Chains A and B, each alone.
Chain A
Amino acid sequence: MRAPLALLALLVLAVSAAAETPRHTPGFPNVETSEHLAELLRLLQDPVVAELLLRLASVGPGSEEAVEELVEKGVLGPEQGAGILRALNSSIDDLAGRADPALLEELRGLLGSEKPDPERLRGLLSTLLAMRESGLLDPYTFIALAGILSGALRKLGFEVPAELSHGVLSSLSGLLSPSTSPSRGAEERPVAGVGAGFPRSPELGASLPSVPTLLETLYPALLSILACSLLTLSLVYRRKRISGLLLRLRASLGRGLEPRTLTAGDDPVSVYWRSVGLVERALGVRKLDHATHREYLSSATRASAELGKYRRTVECFSEITRLYEVVRFAGESLEGAAVRAGEKFREMVESLGRP
C-alpha cells in the first residue's frame, strides 16, 4: 500500500516541478528541463531507484546512503553524488558562502533558539523554495539546507513537508545522469503499475510517442491529478500548505532580511534580479529572456492591476528597476543607490505579506 502511494506522490511531485519550469529567472541556470523530468519519470519505473529517490527526497536519516547507492546504480554521476554528500556534510557556516547571508542568519538564529517558532521555520522553508526556484540557490546547497531544515522540523515533531521533498526532487532531477545504465536496466525489468503506460520495448517505442510528447499530451490530465493529490496531501498533513505558501514566504522574508544584511555584494543590479524572482513568484509573470527591464515592469504593473493587489510591491519594484537601469546602463555609481535599493527590496518583501 505504501509503495504505490509513494510512487504516485513522486510522479505528482515531478509533474508539479515541470509545471513550475517556466518560472525561470534569466541569468541563472535552469536545472529543470523536460528531458530531466522525462529521465526522472523513467527512473521511477524501477521500484528500488524510486525508493532510494524517495528516501533522499525526504532528506532524513539514511539520505547519504541513498546518495551512495544512487551513484552505484549510475542514476547520479559520481561528481554529482560527491557534490551532494559534500553539501550534506557541510555546516551552516560552510554553506554561508553559497547562499544568501540573511537567509543563513535566520536559519542559524532559529536553530540556535531553545524552542524554534514552527511558523518561522515554515516561513524559512518557503523562502528556501523561492530561492531555489529563482536559481539563487544551487541544487547542492538547497539539498543541504533542506536537510538541515527538515532535521529541525523533525525534532519539533513535524513531518517533512511535501514542498521540501518536492524541492529536493526537482533539484535532483537536474543532477541526474542522462540515460544512465540503471534506467536502461529498468527498461529491461519492466514493472507493472506506474510504468505500464510508458513505452519500453523497442518495438513499442517506435510507434508510441516519446515520454516528453506523452507528458505534453497527458499534461492536462496530469495537472488535475496533481491538484487532487496536493489536496489529499494537505488533508493528510492537515495543513493548508498550498494556499499558505506565498503568505509564509512573505512573512519570513519580511522578518529575515534586514537592510543591514544587504551589504557590499548587494548592488542594485543583484538586488534587481532578486526582486525579479520575487515578482515572478508573487504575480506569476515570468521575465522572458528577450524582455527588457522596462517591458517586464509594465507586465508586472499590468498583472498587479488585473489581480487588484500587490500595488505596493510593484511600486517598490519600479524603483528598484529604475535604480538598476541607472547603475547598469548609465554607468553611474549612483550616490546611495545600493542603500536605497536595499531599502526598497525590504519594503517590497514586506509588501508581499500584505498584497
Chain B
Amino acid sequence: MSFVKDIRRVLVDGRILIEKEWEINTIVACLLARGHVLIEGVPGVAKTYTAKSIARLLDLDFRRVQMTPDLLPSDIVGYYVFDQKTGEFRLRRGPIFTNILLADEINRASPRTQSALLEAMQERQVTIEGQTFKLEEPFMALATQNPIEMEGVFPLPEAQLDRFLAKIVTGYVSHKGFVEMLRRAHEIEAAIEELKPVIPRSALLEEMARSTGVRVDDSILDYIASIVEETRRHPAVRLGGSPRSGIAILKLAKAWAYLDGRSYAIPDDVKAVAKPALVHRIILKPEYELQGVTPERVVDDVLTKVPVPRP
C-alpha cells in the first residue's frame, strides 16, 4: 500500500539502493506474508544495507548475526546468566529477539545452530531452559548465503530450505548503476543512518492483517497448482515444487497484490512471485545441472508452458 510507495520513493527514487527495487518489493511482500527470506549473493552486493534500510523505514528493530562454525544455538536464542549481585539467574536474550534478523552466511553455522534458528523462525518462539518465549511481531529472518561453494560450509538440507518463503538471488548492479553508486558512496552510507520510519509499527501490523484478505479467484488457485505440478513434470527436475511451495506462491501473490494497491490477485502477481517462491525448492537432475540448467530457467520454462486463466 502507500507505505511501500514511500519505501520505494526513499530507497529507489532517492537513489540510496541502486537497482534493488525488485529485492525491496520481495522482502516487504515476505514480511506481509509473515515469511522468511533466503538471500543469495556474493559479498558486497548490499544485502546488509537492504535489510537494514527496510527495517529503519518500517520502524522495526534490526539485528545482525554473523554465522560461524563455532556459534552455539544459545548465541542466537539467549541463555541465563548468574547475577552475582542479586544471586539470581538473569535471562540474556539472544539476537533473535528482534523484528528483522539478518543471519549472515547461514551455511557457515553448524547444522545444530542452523536447525535451532530455523525452528525458532518456524515456530516464532524459542525455548530457553524449558521456558518458552514468544518472538516479537513482526518477526522476519533474512538469511544470507554465498553462492560460491567454499570450504567449511554446511549447505542447508532441502527440508530446511523449504521453510523459507522465498529465495532472492541478488547480484551486481549494471555498469551504469555501479558508476552512480561509486559517485554517491559517501552519501549512501550517511543516508542509511538517517532514514526515518515511513509508517509506525502498529500501522504496519494492521497492514499485515489486512493483506491476508486479498481475494483470490478459483482460477488463480488453479493456475498456481498447475505451475507447481508442471515443475514436477519438467524433464530437468528431480524434485519439483512441494505442496508447501504452492502455499508460498499463494501467500506471496496476495502480498504482491496488496502492495500494488489491489484487493484481489491477478495472474501477474503469481508470475511475479513464482521464481522467489520456487527456485530453492526445485532440485535438478545432476546431468542437467552440469549442462548449466538452473532452477530459474526451469521456472521460466514452466511459466511459458502453463496457460493463464481463461476466459
Contacts and interface: CB of A to CB of B under 8 A. Distances in A.
A330 B311 contact: no
A27 interface: yes
B268 A328 contact: no
A157 to B, nearest CB: 42
A288 B305 CA distance: 10
Given A325-B266, A329-B264, A329-B265, A290 B311 contact: no
A269 B271 contact: no
Interface stretch (A11-19, A76-84, A171-179, A291-299): A291-299
Interface string B287-310: 000000000000000011111101
A326 B261 CA distance: 13
A265 interface: no
A27 B220 contact: no
Nearest to A325: B266
A289 interface: yes
A181 interface: no
A292 B271 contact: yes
Contacts of B268: 292, 294-295
A28 to B, nearest CB: 9
A290 B217 contact: no
B306 A290 contact: yes
B265 to A, nearest CB: 7
B307 A292 contact: no
A290 B303 contact: yes
Given A290-B303, A290-B304, A292-B266, A329 B220 contact: yes
A290 B266 contact: no
A324 to B, nearest CB: 9
A269 B311 contact: yes
Contacts of A326: 264
A165 B310 CA distance: 32
A272 B220 CA distance: 18
B264 A330 contact: yes
B267 interface: yes
> How many residues of A sit at the interface, in one of the four size bands?
20 to 34
A292 B303 CA distance: 11
Interface in A1-57: 26-27
B310 A329 contact: no
> How many residues of B sit at the interface, in one of the four size bands?
10 to 19
Contacts of A140: none
Nearest to A324: B311
Contacts of A288: 304
Candidate in B220, B268, B305, B310 with the most chain A CB atoms within 10 angstroms: B310
B266 A26 contact: no
Contact of A294 (B215, B266, B304): B266
Contacts of A325: 266
B263 interface: yes
Contact of B266 (A27, A270, A291, A329): A329
A64 B310 CA distance: 37
A331 interface: yes
A27 B271 contact: no
A273 interface: yes
A292 B310 contact: no
Interface in A275-313: 288-295
A27 B308 CA distance: 10
Nearest to B216: A329
Contacts of B304: 288, 290
A32 to B, nearest CB: 19
A247 B93 CA distance: 75
Interface in B231-270: 262-268
A124 B266 CA distance: 37
Nearest to B257: A329
A330 B311 CA distance: 15
A290 B302 CA distance: 10
B310 A290 contact: no
Contacts of A292: 266-268, 271, 308
B38 to A, nearest CB: 27
B3 to A, nearest CB: 22
B308 A291 contact: yes
10 contacts: A289-B307, A289-B308, A290-B305, A292-B266, A292-B268, A328-B217, A329-B215, A330-B215, A331-B215, A331-B264
Q: Which 5 A-B pairs have the closest CB atoms?
A: A289-B307, A330-B264, A27-B310, A292-B267, A292-B268
Given A26-B310, A294-B268, 6 more contacts: A291-B308, A292-B308, A325-B266, A329-B264, A329-B265, A329-B266
Interface of B: 215, 217, 220, 262-268, 271, 303-308, 310-311
